[in-house]
Structure 1
């Protein structure tokens, strides 16, 4: 099975196509202006707690505060604590 990647990068976006035996099996397009921040690790300050929703707004230095559910953190509390101790 021949697998090839075709990559095209411009100022506005990056495009990647995956081919298997000459057939496109996957395409990914990332626009620079729409770059996401999901999955990155940020250090921030809680600015508002929403107990009824079990969530909080966290200031991570962007124009708007980030929204964080308690379940997004509870499984990794020890990992985050180690990260903060290192600073």
Structure 2
């Protein structure tokens, strides 16, 4: 896989300023990161390279989901309530 190792970053609320330092801290070593309970952030030398990285990551994720029994990481009730309060 050209994207290489893809770290899973901790959950942050949508739009939170806390996500930027997490992504920046990993950007120099990884072409892609996964934001827990959100999705991927990819990079490349060009827009085309970033699109290919996103496609590759998506296809790899499909294979992992189909071949391994993975548990879903759902948000707990407290976080869901916070999101409902913030985004009503």
TM-score range, shorter chain: under 0.3
| Relative contact order, higher structure (CA 8 A, sep 6+) | 2
TM-score by length of 2: 0.24
Bigger proportion of residues as strand: 1
TM-score by length of 1: 0.24
